[in-house]
């Protein structure tokens, strides 16, 4: 089982670059069941959270990270497959992600850019306008 410390270590460089929102160890621990991950020799090399939005039958992908050592090797697609499998198991109709970077990656993998009004209501209210994230949706099928 993956631990919060491993997730924090993996996402730290991306958080420092402003690509992933900073989360605390406690936040990760509270939501550890949200995460799907890939390992190599018991080392965490990729992860992403999938949170149930509890409205509109949607899930939010967050803290998606692939270790810089193994980027551009196809692991992000394997991770996305795990995310979509979990989304299907949870019977989500759509998943979405907010990002300031990697917009091409989302488009390349079948996500469609949408606007704030397409988000679940509670996410519209908490949307950080200053961060100016792009919003991407993908149907679960």
pLDDT of residue 122: 87
CA distances from residue 4 to 8, 26, 100, 125 in whole angstroms, order as listed: 6, 8, 24, 28
Would you say 77 and 84 are in contact if contact means Cβ atoms under 8 Å apart? Answer: no
Report the predicted TM-score, pTM, of the whole model to 2 decimal places: 0.93
pLDDT at 101: 81
pLDDT at 93 over 80: yes
């Amino acid at each position: 089982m993956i631990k919060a410390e491993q997730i924090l270590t993996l996402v730290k460089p991306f958080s420092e670059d402003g690509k992933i929102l900073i989360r605390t160890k406690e936040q990760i621990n509270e939501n550890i069941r949200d995460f799907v991950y890939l390992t190599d020799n018991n080392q965490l090399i990729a992860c992403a959270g999938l949170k149930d939005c509890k409205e509109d039958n949607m899930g939010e992908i967050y803290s998606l990270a692939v270790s810089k050592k193994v980027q551009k090797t196809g692991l992000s697609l394997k991770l996305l497959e795990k995310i979509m499998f979990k989304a299907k198991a949870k019977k989500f109709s759509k998943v979405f992600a907010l990002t300031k970077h990697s917009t091409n990656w989302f488009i390349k993998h079948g996500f469609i850019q949408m606007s704030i009004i397409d988000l679940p209501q509670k996410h519209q209210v908490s949307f950080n306008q200053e961060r100016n994230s792009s919003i991407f949706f993908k149907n679960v099928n």
